[in-house]
Amino acid sequence: MAKVLVSDSVDEAGIKILTQVAQVDIKTGLSEDELTAIIPEYDALMIRSGTKVTEKVIQAADNLKIIGRAGVGVDNVHVPSATRKGIVVVNSPEGNTIAAAEHALAMMLSLSRHIPDANQSVKEGKWDRKSYIGSEVYKKTLGVVGLGKIGSHVAKVGKAMGMKILAYDPFISQERANQLGCTLVDLDILFSESDYITLHIPKTKETANLINAQSLAKMKPHARIINCARGGIIDEDALYETLKEGKIGGAALDVFASEPLGESKLRELGNNIILTPHLGASTAEAQVNVAIDVAEQIRDVLLGLPARSAVNIPGLSPDVMEKLRPYMRLAETLGNLVGQLAGDRVESLNVKLQGDLADNSSQPLVTASLKGLLSKALRERVNYVNAAIEAKERGIHLVETRDATIKDYSNSIYLEAVGTKGTHAVTGALLNDGEIRITSINGFPVNVPPNTYMLFTLHRDVPGIIGKIGSLLGNFNVNIASMQVGRKIVRGDAVMVLSIDDPLPEGVLPEILKVGGVTDAYTVSL
Ligand SMILES: NC(=O)c1ccc[n+]([C@@H]2O[C@H](COP(=O)([O-])OP(=O)(O)OC[C@H]3O[C@@H](n4cnc5c(N)ncnc54)[C@H](O)[C@@H]3O)[C@@H](O)[C@H]2O)c1
Ligand SMILES: O=C(O)[C@H](O)COP(=O)(O)O
């Protein structure tokens, strides 16, 4: 039975799903060394933001197939190492959107009405109404940095509260901004015109320290900034100085450059800062959503099915996935076949997607072809996650072409590879019942199903050759399951495809090559 390690606290609803297919161990609070020591036992790892899945952990994760992040951000996972090792990384892109958006809005209202401090003062026995005069958000300007899932919800609610919404997001269309009732502006305008600024962007090279001494200096003296996105987007030292000197109105932070927040000058500040311990996703509803979403994906991957929200393989909608699944098998089989025909050190692969497959949603078929091509060398080490990287690292030049006009079969895949045995090309299609057919070899039309053991000969189409090869195989006790000849012109060049019941014994291929008229012969196993 597969083994899943759950190393952060996740909702029971997710654990229930995992236990249907795996033995589930829950071990939270592990150090990097402790996790590295036990990870080789596990097929899947389920985490939140607490577990740091470092390169070192991934190096040791020899059986790991999937890392499931019960939440959005995967910045605590070394995704390039996971990809390199063929480990799929999934998340729950939408499960905690509302929770995070509502936390940002709660922060905004808490800042404007001093709720945390007023609460504290009442609990201390005081009845101080003068110190906590607030301000309304109505008719104020809210600057939303990042108009993705969370930013959009914040913008909508802000709008409903009567706020004017400015937004900065270089990857969002004007049309989307219009739909949300936001005015797209550049960052400087957002900084200088907003009364509240809320961050909803990932932490990337571009966004690290986006809020720094210079940007803070551009803000209104009463402006308040909220970060419920990621630590490190705000320079905490610069924020501390700015707040200490009273140059902006306040800040509310849910996330920090280093978590858990250790010694920090931010803790020394007074009522102009609100700090929460990364609670954006911590609602009962969000935790059920993300746990179910990610546990289902772990279950599916352990059962050999694709994941719907993988961050390191292209995501596909369920209907596209349904259409492509049988063709993935076809592409892999053809990749495996052409790779064996082309020999070692394959230097290029041309993948041509034909007929109805010639649209962009068929991209995974290219990956499947590469996976098939590399499977001889890498066996189960190659998968849909790392096939493209492995091919690139081996210097395999990939050419992708599409031709919707080729309709010999309504959908077909053509692969051409160049290796130590020269240039070879195969085409394949699916029959109505989903059965795979190899429909051409090196340009010769055939119609054969793939078989575990196959023999291909290239020969002159002259009488007697087929008989001679048949008798030769008989002499070596090789049983032929099926045989087909493909040729373009009578008595020209031809290809013979034989399905045989067992691997071709040593020494048979050189004998076949000695038969007069045979120009080449190959044995493959699919
Ligand atoms: N505090 C929490 O507990 C919590 C919970 C959920 C999500 N988050 C974090 O919130 C952030 C937003 O999440 P989301 O689900 O809305 O993501 P999303 O991908 O839907 O939206 C992010 C938006 O940021 C934009 N963006 C990217 N780079 C940008 C840049 N340089 N400048 C401006 N905009 C840029 C993108 O175009 C996108 O629209 C993420 O960092 C996520 O990890 C935090
Ligand atoms: O990216 C996320 O989903 C949030 O930061 C939530 O993190 P958490 O699962 O550790 O609460």
Q: Taking 90 as the threshold, does the pLDDT of residue 319 lie above it?
A: no
pLDDT digits (tens, 9 = 90+) for 5-49: 999 999 999 999 999 999 999 999 999 999 999 999 999 999 999
Q: Taking 70 as the threshold, does the pLDDT of residue 314 lie above it?
A: no
Q: Is 444 helix (H, G, I), strand (E, B) or coil?
A: strand
**Cβ of 103 below 6 Å from ligand 2:** no
Q: Taking 70 as the threshold, does the pLDDT of residue 283 lie above it?
A: yes
**pTM of model > 0.95:** no
Q: Taking 80 as the threshold, does the pLDDT of residue 159 lie above it?
A: yes
Residue with CA closest to ligand 2 atom 11? 281
| Mean pLDDT estimate for the chain | 94
Candidate of 75, 96, 102, 287 to mutate for ligand 2, largest count of ligand atoms within 8 Å of Cβ: 96
Which atom of ligand 1 lies closest to the CA of 279? 3
pLDDT digits (tens, 9 = 90+) for 207-240: 999 999 999 999 999 999 999 999 999 999 999 9
Phi, psi angles (nearest 5°) of residue 6? -110, 110
pLDDT-derived band of residue 476, with 50, 70 and 90 as boundaries?
very high
Residue with tokens 């900084």: 191
Q: Which residues line ligand 1 (CB under 6 A)?
A: 72-73, 96-97, 100, 145-151, 168-172, 200-202, 206-207, 228-230, 254-255, 278, 280-281
Which atom of ligand 2 lies closest to the CA of 282? 11
Residue with CA closest to ligand 2 atom 10? 49
pLDDT digits (tens, 9 = 90+) for 245-279: 999 999 999 999 999 999 999 999 999 999 999 99
**Cβ of 81 below 6 Å from ligand 2:** no
Cα distances from 321 to residues 67, 433, 434, in angstroms, run 21, 18, 15
Residue 90 sits at the vertex; the CA angle it makes with 88 and 95, to the nearest 5 degrees, is 175
Query: Using the 8-state DSSP alphabet, how is residue 40 labeled?
Result: G
Phi, psi angles (nearest 5°) of residue 166? -105, 145
How far is residue 492's CA from residue 10's CA, in Å, rounded to a whole number? 68
How far is residue 36's CA from residue 128's CA, in Å, rounded to a whole number? 53
**Rounded mean pLDDT of 156-173?**
94
ipTM of the complex: 0.99
The residues annotated with a catalytic role in the active site are 230, 259, 278
Residue with tokens 């096939």: 387
Residue 317, pLDDT score: 64
